[in-house]
A and B are shown apart, each in its own frame.
Chain A
Amino acid sequence: MAKSISKSTLILIAVIAVIALWGVSTYNSLVTADESVTNAWSQVENVYQRRMDLIPNLVKTVQGAADFERNTLSDVIEARSKASSVQIDANNLTEENLAAFQQAQDGLSAALNRLMVVVERYPELKANQNFIELQSQLEGTENRITVERQKYNDVVKTYNAGVRKFPRNIIASLFNFDTKAYFKAAEGADKAPEVDFNF
């Protein structure tokens, strides 16, 4: 039987053990951060879906009273199908994917805004109970979208910092944790919107 393990071997083993432990704990915290991003993303998808769900009813209500606005309405319907066709899986939150998603959703936002401007010309519609309710639901949904996008961005910021900082980035690249994309802020999103009545 050989003599007991030399001191330097023991030290080496200890160092390796410490590194391994650190590696495991870093990996686990990256997984936790990743899960937070997935969760935040699904919240974002939920609120966008909520908006999608409101649109058929909105279109039907407007169609009744504002028959001349076929173009505006069909724009909204088209924008809605385009938006629902762009889906992203939480594992693929790259810059291009998110940009495409955001563009499709922003297209829908623009179409809806144009519709709301047009509706201003129809007082019966503006007084319609159903329409009033839909309008307030839409507004609430737009707020929720803003909130969840902000929360998503905050979570992604934490995750990205974890993935990019040294020495954690070693573990991150070893296990294919990629950085995730952010939502780009809309200009003046916090300011009260001004409705211009001079077309």
Chain B
Amino acid sequence: MRHIVNRRFLTVLTVLLTCGMGLLSGQVPEKPYPPRLVNDLAGMLTQAENDSLEEELVKYDFRTSTQICVVTLNDLGGMDIMSLAYKIGESWGVGNEANNGVVLLIKNKTRDSRGEVAIATGYGTEGILTDAVCRRLIEDDILPHFREGRSYEGIHQACQHIEGLLDGEFEFEEEEPDIWVVFGIMIILAIVAIVFFALLIKYSKNHPDGGGGKGPTIIIGPGSGLFGGGGRSGLGSFGGGGFSGGFGGFGGGHFGGGGAHGSW
């Protein structure tokens, strides 16, 4: 008797754990770690399509700082799709300082429910991606393809359209290292160095072998890393020279609840 109960308990536990990738009722999906812009939780894309879209969106983020995040789900957990899209955007922090994030949320069509799609726009994108524009994107770019079962084409066309619309609007702010911070750090380092050398000299005078020619071999050269150079600094971002692949992370953009939705 006990044996059977344990088995059942294990099955239930396993089922609950595997639901972790989707949604337990009323919850927002977990922020992906490592961070990804394309989160195909409903398996609507092939691996190749997923990778190609991810690469395109990551490049776009790198070039313009605008983050377009795609999420597909099989179940909304009872939530309204626009609320969920907003919550994903806000809680994952899609977009950078300019609040230029866009969330494209798709709930796949199932045997007993319609498919739904929503676009949630970050505050900064609302001027261009108005509610009406989002509605058009859904009607013209997404739904026609989705009705024919072409998920990738629908998503890709919408993303390209959004990329085009937002092109030139946003760019990364070059973070100039604060001159006073740099100055302050240099002063502190100078003091530390002086104290260090003073102690060293004092110590070596007392030491029988000390003094004379043996000098310290410590290199105090923090290099460009400490002062941040001219590139972007800050948590989760990813600057420097060329594009070397990989999404640097969500930038903490905020959302206002705008956008549009549709179904098929």
B258–A144 CB distance below 8 A: yes
Chain A minimum-CB-distance residue to B86: A147
Chain B minimum-CB-distance residue to A189: B83
Assess whether A191 is interfacial by the CB under 8 Å rule.
yes
Assess whether A34 is interfacial by the CB under 8 Å rule.
no
A140–B131 CB distance below 8 A: yes
B83–A143 CB distance below 8 A: yes
Taking the closest CB of chain A, its distance from the CB of B260, in whole angstroms, is 5
Number of A-B contacts (CB under 8 A): 54
B82–A139 CB distance below 8 A: yes
- Chain A neighbourhood of B195, CB < 8 A: none
Taking the closest CB of chain B, its distance from the CB of A84, in whole angstroms, is 21
- Chain A neighbourhood of B76, CB < 8 A: 192
Taking the closest CB of chain A, its distance from the CB of B138, in whole angstroms, is 9
A139–B79 CB distance below 8 A: no
Bound form: Cα–Cα A47–B255 in Å: 13
Assess whether A42 is interfacial by the CB under 8 Å rule.
no
- Chain A neighbourhood of B79, CB < 8 A: 190-192
Interface SS, B side:
mixed
Bound form: Cα–Cα A109–B261 in Å: 20
A132, A143, A190, A192: which contacts B257 (Cβ < 8 A)? A143
Q: How many residues of B contact A (CB 8 A)?
A: 21
Interface readout for A163-199 with B: 1 if CB under 8 Å, 0 if not? 0000000000000000000000000001111000000
Bound form: Cα–Cα A192–B80 in Å: 4
Bound form: Cα–Cα A150–B1 in Å: 50
Interface SS, A side:
helix
Taking the closest CB of chain B, its distance from the CB of A93, in whole angstroms, is 21
Chain A minimum-CB-distance residue to B85: A143
Q: How many residues of A contact B (CB 8 A)?
A: 18
Assess whether B229 is interfacial by the CB under 8 Å rule.
no
Chain B minimum-CB-distance residue to A138: B131
- Chain A neighbourhood of B260, CB < 8 A: 136, 139-140
Best-surrounded residue of B76, B134, B258 (most CB of chain A within 10 A): B258
Bound form: Cα–Cα A190–B259 in Å: 16
A190–B83 CB distance below 8 A: yes
Bound form: Cα–Cα A11–B261 in Å: 67
Bound form: Cα–Cα A106–B257 in Å: 19
Chain A minimum-CB-distance residue to B84: A190
Indicate whether A147 sits within 8 Å of B256 (C-beta atoms), given known contacts A190-B26, A191-B78.
Answer: yes
10 smallest CB-CB distances across A and B, nearest first, come from A147-B257, A140-B131, A143-B257, A144-B257, A136-B135, A192-B80, A133-B132, A140-B258, A137-B131, A136-B260
Residues in chain A within 8 A of chain B (CB atoms) = 47, 132-133, 136-137, 139-141, 143-148, 190-193
